[in-house]
C-alpha cells in the first residue's frame, strides 16, 4: 500500500480529529469513524505521519500523536507552499483585531457561504498564545466576492 499526503483535504480530517483529543491513543477504525473517512485512508495517513515522526504506533496498532505543536507547524508549512488567492478588505467600524473578531462572531450566520478563520487568527483558536495583527478568513472557492 502507498502512503497519503496527511495534509490533503480528506486526509487532514484525521489530524483535526486528533486535535480534539490531544492525549488520546487512537485505534485506526475509531479515528477514521470520528473523522468521517475510511479505515483504509486512516491507515495510509497514519503510516505517513509515523514516517514523518508525528505518530508512534502503540501495541495492537493504536496510534499516539506525539508533538501536536510541531504537527501544526508542518501542516501550516505545507499550506504556505500552496498558491492562495488573497484579497484585502477593511471592516468598517472595526479598528482592532478584537473588534473584527467580535463582529465576525456576531455576524457568522449571515456571512455568505462557508468560511473559517485561517493563518494566525485560526491558529489562536487551538494555541491561545498565537499573536496576530490581521484577521485572515478562508472562503470557499466557489464564493464570489463583490469588489
67 falls within a domain: yes
Q: Are the CB atoms for 69 and 127 separated by under 8 Å?
A: yes
Whole-model pTM: value is 0.55
- State whether 54 and 94 are in the same domain: no
Question: pLDDT truncated to tens, each residue of the chain (147 aa)?
Answer: 566 788 888 888 999 998 888 889 999 999 999 999 999 999 999 999 999 999 998 888 789 999 888 998 888 888 766 666 666 666 777 777 788 778 877 877 776 667 777 777 777 777 777 777 777 777 766 544 443
The enclosing domain of 25 has a CATH number of: 1.10.10.10
> Which structural domain, as residue segments, surrounds residue 74?
12-80
Could you identify the residue written with the cell 487532514? 12
Give the span between the Cα atoms of 4 and 35, in whole angstroms.
16
Amino acid at each position: 500500500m502507498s502512503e497519503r499526503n496527511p495534509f490533503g483535504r480528506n486526509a487532514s480530517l484525521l489530524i483535526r480529529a486528533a486535535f480534539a483529543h490531544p492525549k488520546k491513543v487512537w485505534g485506526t477504525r475509531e479515528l477514521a469513524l470520528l473523522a468521517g473517512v475510511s479505515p483504509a485512508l486512516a491507515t495510509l495517513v497514519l503510516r505517513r505521519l509515523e514516517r514523518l515522526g508525528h505518530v508512534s504506533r502503540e501495541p495492537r496498532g493504536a496510534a499516539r500523536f506525539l508533538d501536536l505543536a510541531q504537527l501544526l507547524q508542518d501542516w501550516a508549512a505545507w499550506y504556505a507552499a500552496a498558491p492562495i488567492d488573497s484579497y484585502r478588505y477593511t471592516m468598517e467600524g472595526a479598528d482592532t483585531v478584537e473588534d473584527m473578531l467580535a463582529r465576525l462572531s456576531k455576524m457568522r450566520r449571515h456571512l455568505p457561504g462557508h468560511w473559517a478563520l485561517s493563518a494566525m487568527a485560526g491558529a489562536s483558536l487551538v494555541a491561545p498564545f498565537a499573536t496576530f495583527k490581521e484577521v485572515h478568513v478562508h472562503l470557499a472557492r466557489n464564493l464570489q466576492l463583490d469588489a
